[in-house]
């Protein structure tokens, strides 16, 4: 028998394997495939951006905890690293390193820590950082490099027809083409399905490959980090709405496949909209939230002045989350007794 007094505490006496650090670690693992493909396509600039973005996020959180909030260090939960990686994946590959630093300071310093740190923020920190950069440095943030690295040399069938080093994203091409009198179906038709699925021509670092993003999503589902509700309702909403618009007027509106597999819909839908802190907690709330994101994103694409609207749509729906949490209740076990 132990000489010390036995521990006495209420049940349960066991704890499951879940931890915040494990959740964040799983998100990082799920982001590996797309990061790797981006590195192979865009080269060292991706690594430099990642390094500066992640280091700034971690340092920022550490310094704010230490000197402003006087709270224990929280960087061990890995959430700052996740924010850093997601921010960088939302930058154009040609962005200079200091862009990532500025974005990281805004993401952690303003969007996360001013609300009180992990779990308290209303908006997705990485997206706040990204949108801040987009409106502050519009030129730098819309200079798209085309994939050119190692992969391109070995898989020529995926390379874009044009030999240019920079170009617009598929969504940008469509938007500009439509303004100058083009036909949507032809503009979208210049991209093959292989390109849209495997290596996309132009876009943010993390938008490089639909397949790599889906792989990450499947990993998160298998590890039960996320549930299918949010990604599937977003994709389904976009696909259904796009089908309706496209069948009404294919000359003005792009189709469902093009809309799901271009831009930030997969990256945003799988990795940003599912952020625990800024998404609803019940299934019914998550469905409303996912539908909202899908509708707003597609409206911005079709009718807005920006070619892409996933970041904005997620941030807008972030505002609604507290209300969704208040009114969307889970199904209770039993009915009221008479």
* Binding residues for other proteins (CB under 8 A): 1-4, 6-16, 18-20, 22-23, 77, 79, 117-120, 276-277, 281-282, 329-338
| Cα torsion 315, 233, 241, 292: sign | negative
CB closer to other proteins, 54 vs 118: 118
> By CB neighbour count within 10 A (0-12 exposed, 13-18 middle, 19+ buried), where does 46 fall?
buried
The answer to whether 53 and 107 are in contact (CB under 8 A) is no
Question: Strand, coil or helix: what is 332?
Answer: coil
**Shortest reach from residue 109's CB to other proteins, in Å:** 18
Q: Which lies closer to other proteins via its Cβ, residue 189 or residue 322?
A: 322
209 Cβ contact partners less than 8 Å away, ≥ 6 residues apart: 33, 34, 37, 38, 197, 198, 199, 200
Residue (44 or 332) nearer to other proteins, CB: 332
Which residues, in sequence order, are CB contacts of 320 under 8 Å at separation 6+? 288, 289, 292
Q: CA 287 to CA 280: how far, in whole Å?
A: 9
Task: Closer to other proteins by CB, 240 or 323: give it.
Answer: 323
Kindly state the smallest distance separating residue 174's Cβ from other proteins, in Å: 37
Structure tokens at 270: 């799988």
Q: Is the dihedral of CA 294, 184, 257, 208 positive or negative?
A: negative
For residue 65, the minimal CB distance to other proteins (Å) is 12
DSSP state at residue 95: -
Could you give the maximum distance between any two Cα atoms of the chain, in Å? 86
Minimum CB–partner distance for residue 46 and other proteins (Å)? 28
Shortest distance in whole angstroms from residue 129 CB to other proteins: 19
Residue number, 157 or 337, with CB nearest to other proteins: 337
CA nearest neighbour of 34 among 80, 76, 85, 109:
85
Minimum Å distance from CB 4 to other proteins? 7
Q: Of 231, 227, 252, whose CA–CA distance to 294 is shortest?
A: 231
Nearer to other proteins, 25 or 33 (CB): 25
Q: How far is the CB of 266 from other proteins (least distance, A)?
A: 22
Q: Which of 3, 94, 109, 10 is nearest to 56 (CA)?
A: 109
Nearer to other proteins, 240 or 281 (CB): 281
Which two three-digit tokens encode residue 194? Answer: 């292989």
Pinpoint the alpha helices (H) of 210-267: 210-222, 229-248, 256-260, 265-267
CB of 79 to other proteins, least distance (A): 8
* Closer of 8 and 179 to other proteins (Cβ): 8
């Amino acid at each position: 028998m132990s000489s010390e007094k036995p521990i006495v505490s209420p049940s349960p006496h066991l704890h499951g394997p879940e931890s915040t650090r494990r959740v964040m670690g799983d998100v990082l693992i799920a982001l590996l495939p797309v990061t790797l493909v981006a590195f192979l396509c865009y080269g060292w600039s991706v690594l430099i951006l990642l390094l500066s973005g992640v280091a700034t996020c971690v340092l920022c959180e550490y310094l704010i905890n230490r000197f402003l909030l006087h709270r224990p260090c929280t960087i061990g939960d890995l959430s700052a690293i996740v924010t850093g990686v997601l921010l960088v994946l939302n930058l154009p590959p040609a962005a200079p390193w200091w862009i990532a630093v500025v974005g990281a300071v805004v993401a952690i310093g303003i969007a996360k820590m001013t609300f009180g740190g992990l779990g308290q923020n209303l908006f997705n920190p990485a997206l706040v950082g990204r949108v801040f950069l987009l409106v502050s440095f519009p030129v730098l943030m819309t200079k798209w490099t085309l994939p050119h690295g190692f992969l391109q040399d070995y898989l020529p069938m995926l390379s874009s027809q044009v030999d240019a080093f920079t170009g617009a994203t598929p969504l940008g091409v469509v938007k500009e083409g439509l303004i100058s009198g083009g036909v949507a179906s032809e503009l979208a038709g210049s991209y093959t399905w292989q390109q849209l699925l495997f290596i996309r021509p132009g876009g943010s670092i993390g938008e490089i490959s639909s397949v790599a993003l889906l792989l990450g999503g499947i990993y998160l589902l298998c590890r039960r980090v996320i549930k299918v509700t949010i990604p599937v309702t977003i994709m389904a909403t976009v696909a259904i709405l796009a089908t309706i618009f496209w069948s009404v007027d294919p000359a003005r509106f792009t189709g469902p496949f093009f809309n799901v597999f271009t831009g930030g819909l997969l990256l945003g839908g799988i990795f940003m909209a599912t952020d625990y802190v800024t998404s609803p907690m019940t299934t019914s709330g998550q469905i409303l939230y996912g539908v909202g994101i899908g509708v707003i994103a597609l409206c911005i694409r079709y009718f807005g002045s920006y070619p892409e609207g996933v970041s904005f749509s997620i941030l807008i729906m972030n505002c609604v989350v507290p209300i969704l949490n208040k009114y969307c209740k889970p199904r209770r076990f039993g009915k009221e007794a008479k």
